[in-house]
Each structure stands twice: as structure tokens, then as C-alpha cells.
Amino acid sequence: MKIIAVGRNYAEHAKELNNPVPGVPVIFMKPETAILKDNKPFYHPEFSNDIHYELEIVLKVCKEGKYISEKFASNYYDEIGLGVDFTARDIQSAHKEKGLPWELAKAFDNSAPISRFIPKSSFADLYDLHFHLNLNEKTVQSGHTKDLLFSFERLIAFISQYITLKKGDLIFTGTPKGVGKINVGDRLTGYLENEKLLDFEIK
């Protein structure tokens, strides 16, 4: 399986990082080795002094498809959950300044903690969902799916023009504003609506 992630899909997050608001989705990828499941602790890597949390809604792809039409894209995911796109911001900034790829900042081991997944049919409206992240019991990120620049269906249609989607693939759909640094000893808890799906420590 593969993890396909979307950057700058909330306008306020793009602005907080001084990035332009994109006209088309910004896509990058993480390998399977980035996944961290079951609320296991995240061990802060030694190669970065500036790891940031980025809470996102994650789609789970349920069948193979390519060149998917946007009007049929909803048939290609059946569950959603939460994930954290951990980013080594210092490495990313250094690479961006030189115009280099920044996989090392995004794709390192355990950089994609994910929650359990919930059938999307459990929600009356996927574009009326609140989600938020607490750092040590203080809310640091709060998002709403109505603020997505590119809908879930638009993302699936766009990605599938370039990359065949397969059952089990995960799509990280972008983070709202409020990203920030983690430190050893922190605890992150993530909520979709009022249900706690993520709860793990930084060690």
C-alpha cells in the first residue's frame, strides 16, 4: 500500500507557512514504513530538532481505480480516520531553500500515525465534520471539512490521473492552521467530531 498526502489544502495553513494557496492539489508521498498504528508512542528522531504535528482526515481507498471521474470518486473510499503528518520542518526548510525534494522531512519512519477507521456512512455529511488536535490537553488545531480547498472527490479524481489507486491506500487530505513543534514528553490527542481517535505520547 502507499500513502498519498496533500499539502496546502486549507487556505489558512498555506498562509501560516507563507506558501501560496495552490490552484491544483499539491501531492507528496510517504512509504508504508511511515505508518504508526494503535496509538503506539512516537519516538522523536535524532536527526531533527523541529518536528511539527499536522492533523489530517485520512481516506481509506476501497477499490482499484485510475482516471476516476470526480462524479464517481466517492465510490473509491468507504472509511475515514485521522492521521498525523509529522514533518521535520528544519529539514524541509533547508531542502526547499535549495529547490530540492523534501521526502526526508516527510517520509521518515513512523511519520504517519493513523487512527482506526470509521465507515463514512456513519456520518450524515462528510463536509460538515469538525476535527481537532490537543497537545497536552490544549487544543492547537481545529478544522472543518467545509474549508477544504479541494474536496475528497476532487483529490481522488486528480491523483488517479497520475497514480493508480489500490485497495488499502491511504490519502492524507491536508491540515488546518495551527501546526507546531512537538517535544519529548508531549501527548497528542486527536478527535473527529467528539470521538477521540488518537491518543499517544512523544518519547
> What confidence score (pLDDT) does residue 16 get?
76
- Of the candidates 108, 76, 63, the one whose C-alpha atom is nearest the C-alpha of residue 90 is 108
pLDDT at 19: 76
Which pLDDT score, from 0 to 100, does residue 105 have? 98
Q: Are 101 and 81 in contact (CB under 8 A)?
A: no
Distance spanning both ends of the chain, measured CA to CA: 27
pLDDT in tens, 13-55: 767 777 787 789 999 999 999 999 999 999 999 999 999 999 9
d(C-alpha 60, C-alpha 117), whole Å: 8
Contacts of 35 (CB under 8 A, 6+ apart): 3, 110, 112, 113, 114
- CB distance 105 to 112 below 8 Å: no
Average pLDDT along the chain = 96
Please say whether the beta carbons of 126 and 120 come within 8 A.
yes
Render each residue's pLDDT in the chain as its tens digit; 203 residues.
Answer: 999 999 989 988 767 777 787 789 999 999 999 999 999 999 999 999 999 999 999 999 999 999 999 999 999 999 999 999 999 999 999 999 999 999 999 999 999 999 999 999 999 999 999 999 999 999 999 999 999 999 999 999 999 999 999 999 999 999 999 999 999 999 999 999 999 999 999 99
- How far is residue 153's CA from residue 136's CA, in Å, rounded to a whole number? 34
Residue indicated by cell numbers 485497495? 167
Q: Which of 64, 53, 61 is nearest to 135 (CA)?
A: 53
CA distance 138 to 161: 40
Closest CA to 159 of 81, 42, 77: 77
Amino acid 14: pLDDT: 65
The length of the chain in residues reads 203
Q: What is the pTM of this model?
A: 0.96
Q: What is the DSSP string of 19-84?
A: -PPPSS-EEEEE-GGGEE-TTPPBPPPTT-S-EEE-EEEEEEE-S-BSS--GGGGGGGEEEEEEEE
In the prediction, which pLDDT does 184 show? 98
For residue 10, give the H/E element and its range: none
